[in-house]
Chain A
Amino acid sequence: MAQTAAQATFYKQLGRMYGTYTGTFLAFIILLAILEYMGVPNRVIGYLFVFFTIAVYAIIGVMTRTAEVSEYYVAGRRVPAFYNGMATGADWMSAASFVGMAGTLFLLGYDGLAWVLGWTGGYVLVSVLIGPYLRKFGAYTVPDFMSFRFGGNFARFLAVIVLVACSFTYVTAQIFGTGIIASRFLGIQFEVAVFVGLVGILLCSMLGGMRAVTWTQIAQYIVLIVAYLIPIVWLSARKYGVPLPQLTYGTALAEIAAREQQMVKDGLAVLCTAASCPAGSLKPHISPFLTYAPHNFFGIIACMMVGTASLPHILMRYFTTPTVREARQSVAWSLFFIFLLYFSAPAYAAFSKLEVYTNIIGRPVGEIRPWMFTWGELGLIQVCGKNAASLAAVVDACKAVANHPGVVRLQDFVINTDVIVLSTPEIAGLPYVISGLVAAGGLAAALSTADGLLLAIANALSHDVYYKMLQPMKTNNRNITIGIIGAVILFVLWYFMTGAGPLGVQWRWWGIGAFIAIFAVAYPFLQKANDTERRLIIARILLLLVAIASAATASTRPGDILAMVGWAFSLAMAGNFPALVLGIWWKRATTAGAIAGIIAGFGLCIFYLVTTRYFPQAGVDYFGMTSMKNAVTGANLVDITKPIAATPAQRVGWFDLSNINCGLLGAPLGFLVMIVVSLMTPAPSKELQALVDEVRKPRGKTIMEEKTS
């Protein structure tokens, strides 16, 4: 590729900058290790870690502030493939990937790998089917493309709804994650920690939009990958003499398998078999389909993969590369950087499992290893049904169990999935500085994902709803519409935010107060701003509002929303995938077809989710749903002739299909409806078809530029 001299200098500068940054970060870790050695207390080390890293992100965020629209929305389309790959990696890997994934693999063994596969393979679809074409199109947002291809604002509006539906729960979970990590490591109160996290997020994104988020995400990727790999590399080197945990954990797997047999033989565990598989029974680590039946296992893989290729906050990362070619290379780099973490997660799981199986299970209750008590106090590890807060607590709890043999059995031991990554440094006997590093890594993962998601939502609202839909309206209509939207927001704040907030004032008044204050501050600026300035001010106000809304939601610890994060993938798959793919690959796809397809697919997916989660009885009575089955024994989970209450765990459905896989219902229906309706309506105009041809050729200007110039 013919690089211009300016570009070459820019790339070189980037390399030098991030190289220095990484070096400084490593030096900082060593410095803290020395401080720890000199007797500085753990808490101070934890604080230093978190505040130093957040300060760095904030500095980058402030330095990259911008007053240009294309910088704000797509980082000026100057981000090289390699760096965009890193940014996407940070964007992609959430608090759940960093903290939770290894724990899931620990609990589920082979079945957990559905998530590893599902959250990586989707990038093949991004690159082959969608991403580079959207880059050539030159959109600022995914709804932008929908509106262009499917003529007008109705398609745009539907795309905004899909985007908000799949991004909002997701971002709330990230902010929740920052709160958990900060409160656990810094001892700040959870609700306060949520808002500290919020400030961190806003400092990174508000002034510079996509440009600032890109350059901070790269910094965050470096922190999170270093933090994820150091403990496990260290552990592997100590245990097996080879610092490559991804290769050495094969030995651990073999040891686990041998130990599992021994445990069953010694009566320390009950084996899960097709005849009976009670809770707490042993599911051999490498044996498949003991938690998910095969159709749900492959369903998760499919929904996560196709969902990846439909999630707006991921697709929009590829709008920032200089060329279509680099967009493709950038997808490859993204997956490479994501792969570094995901192929290490099973190693965490295996090493932890071996530790638990050899050093906890089978030990006399009185000789339990002390590293557990830190987590037991927080309620994250339980032995014999009680929090393992101290030796005495464990001994007492087990005495209370009838016929307890006095040694810890598998069914006595319950561990929260978050503990696996967080406790590995302690298990490995590493200094506290590494625990602090892991906390900083977890925060980086949560903050970076939250940044990307917030920006996706706020950009859709500011660019699509405000700039493309409201701005062109007549002044009078616009004022009325804005008035209605404002009233709805105030009502939602007043109606839903019922909890008691700080200073004895209810959250609803904090929310309404903040809303009014933001507008009071912004109003004079908006009055004297020119068009570009006004656009960016509004983008920032919306970003702030969405951020506050999700932090407020997160601070109420909404169990439901956190469980719904996995739903985002299926919703994106059902709502976006058919329209995106057919919009690019099938010129005959029409506006009516796309609209009908989105409504049908997305609608069916939502319907299945809501019915199975909240109205199982109605599902059985009116929609022919039947009981879900145990994956191993095939037994029904409920008796559908009796009344069924709604529970977080899904108990009824169609074809024993887990509701997280509702994309498997929605996307095929979306394709079908879109194709049938398209064929029934007249073909798109010659001009539009010609523009689709242009989208398919990398050479030439982006379509948006051509249309506006």
Chain B
Amino acid sequence: MAPADSKANQEAHWAATTRLMWTHLALWLFFGYIVHFFVKQLNAITIPVLQFPLGFYMAAQGSLIAFVVMLFFFAKQQDKIDRDHGYAED
């Protein structure tokens, strides 16, 4: 049973939402930038069979896949937070 709409509940909901926001921004920073700082080192590694250099692969596909997956997860996680605090839509 979700808690009633109190000030404390509201703050707890927002604290959880903010935490989730920072988690996803950190992941975004990692896949959007940090991996690509190491492109030269990663390019030395070749993905077996497919023959992609890893640094190139991350920018062309790897990070993109990560973003898509993150967004589906985010939608689920935020919805759970909303439900737990009784703020989800019916």
Contacts and interface: CB of A to CB of B under 8 A. Distances in A.
Contacts of B10: 693, 697
B82 A698 contact: yes
A123 B71 contact: yes
Interface in A224-275: 246-247, 250-251, 253-254
Contact of A125 (B13, B14, B28, B51): B28
B70 A298 contact: no
A250 to B, nearest CB: 4
B28 A124 contact: yes
B84 interface: no
Interface string B33-64: 10010011001001100111101110111011
A328 B75 contact: yes
Contact of B74 (A127, A251, A323): A127
A409 B88 CA distance: 63
A241 to B, nearest CB: 14
Contacts of B32: 117, 121, 124, 301, 305
B74 A339 contact: no
Q: Quick one: which of A129, A254, A286, A331 has the most chain B CB within 10 A?
A: A286
Contacts of B51: 250-251, 253-254
B74 A325 contact: no
Contacts of B53: 253, 286
Nearest to B46: A254
A110 interface: yes
A253 B75 contact: no
The binding surface of chain B is classed by DSSP as: helix
Interface residues of A, number: 47
25 contacts: A113-B59, A120-B67, A123-B71, A124-B67, A124-B71, A125-B28, A128-B20, A128-B21, A128-B25, A128-B28, A247-B50, A250-B47, A251-B51, A254-B51, A288-B39, A301-B36, A324-B89, A325-B75, A328-B78, A328-B79, A343-B60, A343-B65, A585-B18, A697-B13, A699-B90
A698 B13 CA distance: 11
A336 B82 contact: no
A287 to B, nearest CB: 8
Given A116-B60, A127-B71, A253-B52, A699 B24 contact: no
A246 B52 CA distance: 11
Interface of B: 10, 13-14, 17-18, 20-21, 24-25, 27-28, 31-33, 36, 39-40, 43, 46-47, 50-53, 55-57, 59-61, 63-65, 67-68, 70-72, 74-75, 78-79, 82, 86-90
A478 B30 CA distance: 52
Nearest to B73: A332
A117 B59 contact: yes
Interface string A309-338: 000000000000001110011011001100
A335 B74 CA distance: 13
A342 interface: yes
A343 B64 contact: yes
A68 B13 CA distance: 36
Contact of A331 (B36, B57, B71): B71
Contact of A116 (B25, B33, B59, B70): B59
A250 B52 contact: yes
A346 interface: yes
Nearest to B32: A121
A527 B87 CA distance: 46
Contact of B71 (A298, A332, A693): A332
A503 interface: no
Contacts of A369: none
B64 A116 contact: yes
B21 A110 contact: no
Contacts of B78: 132, 328
Contact of A342 (B18, B47, B64, B89): B64
